[in-house]
Each structure stands twice: as structure tokens, then as C-alpha cells.
Structure 1
Amino acid sequence: MLPTLAPDTTAAEARAALDEAGWREVGTGDWAWVLASPDDRLAARVTPFDPAFRMFADSCLTGRPNPFLVRIDDVVPLRRKGYVVVMERLHPADEAQAKGLVASLGIATSTDPAPDDGESAALADHPDVVDLRRRIQELLAEGARRFRLWGGADVKPGNVLQTADGRLRLTDPVFVRGFDMFRAIRDGRGDLLGDFSRADLEDFLTIPVFEPGPETDALRRTVAGLALGDAQRITS
């Protein structure tokens, strides 16, 4: 069972509470830590700040179930814009099958063209794949409206996982350009960061990719002195 987490709990405190309750860390990405439940049936994705995954998680919660989409059970708010996503436990997928699902979606990422795989043509017209494609496209449009540093699609085999019994699940298909956020902070370009509050940027600097040390401390001092541009265009 997920321990009770108050809304002012930090991501670090949430991880500690999960650890004490018997959850164990099974993965760390750029933006979040992932812990598995004691019975290995659920996972908790903990982040102090990740607006793209929050959009995706909310879409999963409000949309109809899709067998190719990760099952998300809850989003638990933490301090400011941090949160814990409670989802089904997933594992690395069969590479060939993951590539097939990605090819069937036909969605180009920011760096790669949409894959062309003739063997995936039949799957491309499957009603659940059509639904998944539409939902990703809606997320892409929403993200482009909300964030000037929106990254777009991140639909790739590495973001296709599978359940314990081998069913494919897409997760984390969209992103905000975190490297460009880092570079804008480093260079003092507050004009590029107006979609985020100062608190957002402070929390951004605590995601896993930023290790404690002098470089991160310097970035925090830069954030404290930034003159930010216009307020976020969409605040909800």
C-alpha cells in the first residue's frame, strides 16, 4: 500500500516514506525515481517537477483504458508541482515488438523520422493503436500551446515497456526540453523561461539528472537572480 503523503511532502520525503514502507527503487531517469511495491505489482514514479509526464498521466486517468497504454491508478500531489504517479509495474519489453508498436504509431520524434515498417501496417489500423495515436497527437498540440520549450514526441522503443505477462505498454511519449531549460538557466536567459515560475525552476534543479555539488549550486544562485519573462501562458 502507498503510504499517506501530505500535499506539502517533498519528492525526497516521499521517496523516504516509500522506502520505509517496503518499496524499493528499481529505476532512475532524468526526471524521476521509480520504486516498486513490496508485492512487485505496482510502481511509484516520484518527481519534484515534470510537466510533460503530468500531462500524460492526467490524460491516462481521464481517457478510456487502452491496452497499449500504461495503466495509471492515481496521481498523488506533492509540494508545489511535484507528484507521485501510481501505476502498474512494468519491465523492459521485447525489442522487436517494441519497435513494431512504435512503427505502427508512425509518430516522428524530435530527432528521428517516423519509422517505416511494412510489417506494422496491419497493427497501424488497429482501433486501439488509432486511439493511442490520436491521444498522443492531442498531447503534442496541448504541450505546444503551453510551453515554448516543448520538446514534442518521444515515441521510441525505449519508452515501450511490458507487463509481467508480456503485454506492451507505451509510457512517457512526450517531453519538455530539459536540456534547453538547463542551458537557459546557465546562460541567465530568463526571457526563455517565462512559462515557469521561480519555484518551478528551483524544483527542476532537484530532478535526478542534477547531482548535488558546486555546479548545481551555481545554477540555483542563477535562478535566484533571474528576471523571468512573461507569465506562463496557460496556468492550469
Structure 2
Amino acid sequence: MSPTPAIPKSASADQARDLLEAAGWRQVGLGDWSWVLADPTGAQAARVTPFDPAYHLHAQACLDGPPNRWLPRIDAILPLRRDGYVVVMERLWPANEAQAAAFCSALGIVNDSGYAPPPDLPFAEADDDLAALRGRLTDLILEGARRFKLWGGSDIRPGNVMADGQGRLKLVDPVFVRGLGIVEAVRDGRLDLLSDFSREQLEDFMTIPPFSPGEETQGLRRRLAELYA
């Protein structure tokens, strides 16, 4: 396992990625909100984001709470500029889709992002940790709903289940803030819906991976500037 390079709290997400890559880490994943890099040994991963309040809630809960066999090991949450951060964690790989679907079905928490698990999938590994996880996730979903007007809720689906080096399933990204809702609120001038976030947070939001360079992204940034002029 390679040491994580020193990343200043003032660093942007791009600067953090540059520092990791200079230390031999390589990008192995790209999500809607983040970039994932693996260390040279393949034992650890770093999830880098300029802004993702939902995943921060989940990662902090993993770090603070008791170990649970269905959750990944989080080693550290490193703060970046404003509300960006790097989550250093165990390296994970894609899970068997059928096993992941059965796990989601057994967990029994309704998905709010559009996924509907097949009913009554057999899952032989249900245990006390699964029951404990169900309770922790319920609390996490309620906490997010209290904090954010544009809270999405549960995003428990096979695509957010991965596996460790021994093939053990890990739930990696179970909750979400409605990113499309943020975009629509900026376009529509709905400052009432955006009041949970600062202008700086929204500017950082517009640097996550889906915002590719181009007129559409620039237009959205101009609209944000107009709202806060």
C-alpha cells in the first residue's frame, strides 16, 4: 500500500488529482460526481470530488460508525478547497451483477433514482450486519432530507454495489442529491431551492465530470453569475 501524497487543504480537485498522479496513482474510474484513482499497489483508491454533499454524508458515516461487512473501509477524508474532498479507501472492483441485485433486494430500501429490483431474489448471506445497515441507511436518508431541499434519497442499485479483492459485496454510494434539480433550479432562477448551497459551492458543482467544456456549461455558469450579481 503506497502512502497518500500530501494534499493541501487549499488544493482544488484538479490539483489533488495532479498530486496523486505525480505519486504514481492512476485513474481507474469516472462517475457523475468524482474521479477515482488507484495507488500503485492496487490496494487503495482515492475518490476525488470538488462537490458532492451526499457522498460526504455516507463516507463520514462509514468512517465514524462501527465496521459493517457490507460497507467499504474508509481510511480518511481529506478536505480540499471549499467543500471538495478526497476519500481514501480500500480498492474495490465491479461486483457480480446478479449478486448485487440480490443484495439490493434483500436490503429492502426503496430506490428513489428509478431502479426497481426484481422481487424476492434469493440472498443467502443476510445477517445481523445487513439488518444494521438497513437501519443506518434509513437514518442517513432522513438526515439528508432534513439538510437539503434538493435531496434525492436512496440510490441503492446494483451499479452502486462493488466488491473487494475477495469478492465480498460493498455498498459504495447509496444516497444522492439531485444534480439535475440543481441545474434546473439555476436555469429557472429558483434561488429558494438553491438556498442550501453557496455560490461558491454551485460554481464547484459545475466542475464535476458531466460538465464538459462548451457553450452549454458556459451558459449555465453565466446564468449562475446573473443570479448572484
1:116 corresponds in structure 2 to 119
Classify the secondary structure of the residue corresponding to 2:83: coil
The match for 2:178 is 177
Secondary structure of 1:12's aligned partner: helix
Shift of 1:123: 4.2
Residue type at the aligned position of 1:94: N
Aligned pairs (5 A) from 1:169-208: 169-208=170-209
Letter in 2 for 1:150: W
Shift, 1:171, TM fit: 0.6
Displacement, 1:113?
A: 4.6
Aligned residues: CA RMSD: 1.4
1:116-195 alignment to 2 at 5 Å?
116-120=119-123, 123-124=125-126, 126-195=127-196
Deviations 1:80-103 (A, max 9, x none): 000000010000001111111111
How far 1:187 moved relative to its partner?
2.3
Aligned-pair identity (%): 55
- The normalised TM-score by structure 1 is 0.92
Cα shift readout 1:113-137 (whole Å, capped 9, x = no counterpart): 56521523x644x100001111110
Q: 2:45 aligns with which of 43, 46, 52?
A: 43
Q: Which amino acid aligns with 1:104?
A: A
Distance in 2 separating the partners of 1:152 and 1:227: 28
Could you tell me whether the CA contact under 8 Å between 1:107 and 1:114 is conserved in 2? Answer: no
What is the identity, as a one-letter code, of the residue corresponding to 2:168? Answer: R
Distance in structure 2 (CA, Å) of the matches to 1:115 and 1:155: 13
What amino acid is the match of 1:164?
Answer: G
Q: Report if the CA contact (8 A) 2:115-2:157 is conserved.
A: no
- CA distance, structure 2, for counterparts of residue 95 and residue 216 of structure 1: 34
Q: CA–CA distance in 1 between the matches of 2:120 and 2:93?
A: 24
- Matched residue pairs, number? 226
Instruction: Please give the alpha-carbon distance, in whole angstroms, between the structure 2 residues aligned to 1:112 and 1:33.
Output: 23
Match of 1:106 among 108, 114, 133: 108
CA distance in 2: counterparts of 1:47 and 1:119, whole angstroms: 36
Identify the range of structure 1 (165-174 vs 184-193) with the bigger mean alpha-carbon deviation: 184-193
Q: Distance in 2 between matches of 1:84 and 1:112?
A: 28
The C-alpha deviation readout for 1:186-230, integer Å capped at 9, x for no partner, is 2222221111100010000000110012211111111112159xx
Q: Which of 194-203 and 213-222 deviates more?
A: 213-222
SS at match of 1:9: coil
Q: Distance in 1 between matches of 2:54 and 2:98?
A: 27
Range that drifts further, 38-47 or 161-170: 161-170
Read off the aligned partner of 1:175 and give its amino acid letter.
F
Look up the match of 2:57. Answer: 55
Q: 8 Å contact 1:27–1:33 — kept in the other structure? A: yes
User: Within 2, Cα distance between the matches of 1:135 and 1:50?
Assistant: 20
Q: Which runs of 4+ in 1 moved over 6 A?
A: none
**8 Å contact kept, 1:104–1:123:** no
The one-letter code sitting in structure 1 at the alignment partner of 2:139 is: E
TM-score normalised over the length of structure 2: 0.95
Where does the alignment leave 5 or more consecutive residues of structure 1 unmatched? 229-236
